[in-house]
Amino acid sequence: MAKKGAREIVALVCSECKAHNYATTRNKVNIEKKLEIKKYCKNCKKNTLHKETTKLK
Ligand SMILES: [Zn+2]
């Protein structure tokens, strides 16, 4: 059985065009600060900084 509450699904949003490009999970028990990852944005057609935003529903 999986433990409840430790992991949550969050969206990664392009910091330039605000597109929701990725979804990932993070363990908020281990990681307190927000995720910031460089990823390819198909909207901007280049690598941009993606930031974690509110979790998906
Ligand atoms: Zn973008």
Q: Which domains does the chain have, with CATH numbers?
A: 7-55 (2.20.28.120)
Provide the residues around ligand 1 (an ion) whose CB is within 5 A.
14, 16-17, 19, 41, 43-44
pTM of the full structure = 0.72
Closest to 18 measured CA to CA, from 44, 57, 38: 44
Task: State the distance from the centre of ligand 1 to the C-alpha of 4, rounded, in angstroms.
Answer: 33
pLDDT at residue 8, rounded to an integer: 79
Asked if 52 and 9 count as a contact pair (C-beta separation under 8 A), the reply is: no
18: left (phi over 0), alpha (psi -120 to 50) or beta: left
The arithmetic mean of pLDDT across residues 43-49, rounded, is: 98
- Which of 14-18, 20-24, 50-54 has maximum average pLDDT? 14-18
C-alpha to C-alpha distance for 47 and 31, rounded to whole angstroms: 24
pLDDT greater than 90 at residue 34: no
Q: What is the mean pLDDT of the chain?
A: 84
Confidence of residue 38 (pLDDT cuts 50, 70, 90): very high
Q: From ligand 1's centre to the CA of 30, what distance in Å?
A: 28
